[in-house]
Structure 1
Amino acid sequence: MAKLHIKKGDMVYVISGESKGQQGRVLKVLVEKQRAIVEGVNMVSRHTKPNSQYPQGGIIKKEAPIHISNLMVVDPTTGKPTRIGRRLNDKGKLVRYSKKSGEEIK
């Protein structure tokens, strides 16, 4: 399977779909399904029975997975969406970098 351009903890920008234009932090990456769960993006309503986490039950808003093709990593310097490349750094380790600014992405 190909390596993904998105990791947990990245700031991402949604480029298409219902949540287009929103930004958020990646909470989880579902590698085998090529999807990511992004904080505050692609919210859905879930009807839940009362349980220990939600003693009241009722309708709960939560994030649904979004396909990674609809996400772009936000450039750490400009704050705009950018494409991602990979290159060796000075220590010989493969790192991700922003194609817009050339800045390394932590």
Structure 2
Amino acid sequence: MYRASDRVDNEVWIDRLDDARRSLDLDEEAFATATDLFLSAVPDADRSKPATGAASLYAAALITGQERSQSAVAEAMDVSRLSVQQAWKPILEDAGFSPPTW
């Protein structure tokens, strides 16, 4: 869980999530889920936030049934596909979900 101040402290990153969500044509539910996942897993270091944001957005797309490729999400968030690949499962698990096994 996150504090309300986390949302204010990370407003720039939430805006980036929204921009990426729009470019991927994901709906508001996916954005809200991605925001919750991101704020629950947000790292202290700014350099890690783009990858966490991308992984959160990818995971949210899966949760809401709006799957997008790791490459597409990585491109929308301007990170490497490997960043998404390495971070999305731990974010899902920390949120109480079981990642798919495919």
TM-score strictly above 0.5: no
Higher share in helix: 2
What TM-score do you get using the length of structure 1 for normalisation?
0.22
Relative contact order, CA 8 A, sep 6+: which one is greater?
2
**Please, what TM-score do these two structures have when normalized by structure 2?**
0.23
